Homo-oligomer: A and B are copies of this chain.
């Protein structure tokens, strides 16, 4: 399986590299990092990652969209949203973390589907008034080919959940042990559901 990890300036570091750690141990998963133009992309935490130019026509396998501060610009860039729409339509699965779900929602492909997002950004996500079945209390959601997670660390739990669903429980738990990670394997168990921007 190919996994296309989509990056943009000011993505949230752990949104990406938690799931990437998991996918790196999924059997025969080939990762590549892509962006609109290719070249170095910097996270909000100043991580410079080399990317290839996204070739949306030739996407297959898994397409991954993180969240982060950069999403606030990205969702108003119609060219990027059109590119993402094409890439997601070509992919077999689409996984998003944090406000990455809002970028996916902007393509229209989440219309009428269940999804979640970062809890401290939830009011802002709702304010975009998109026809998505937003679930506030969810560590992650799955609706058909779409997996969306709550903020940052939740992406690790979701990617292990995706691994269980499409590979096996044994492969998912072995990866969690390898990472010395206490997997929250219940997508309805959301310890941060009540958080809001007012909490910090």
Contact = CB atoms under 8 A, between A and B. Distances in A.
Contact of A33 (B14, B20, B32, B47): B47
A33 B31 CA distance: 22
A165 interface: no
A151 interface: yes
A136 interface: no
Nearest to A30: B46
Contact of A17 (B13, B40, B179, B191): B13
Contact of A44 (B16, B24, B40): B24
Interface stretch (A53-61, A125-133, A180-188): A180-188
B33 A48 contact: yes
Nearest to A178: B200
Interface in A87-118: 118
A21 interface: yes
14 contacts: A13-B17, A13-B20, A13-B24, A17-B47, A20-B45, A25-B45, A31-B45, A31-B46, A31-B47, A50-B50, A119-B180, A151-B179, A152-B181, A182-B184
Interface of A: 12-14, 16-18, 20-21, 23-25, 30-33, 40, 43-50, 118-120, 150-154, 174, 177-182, 184, 191-192, 195, 199-200
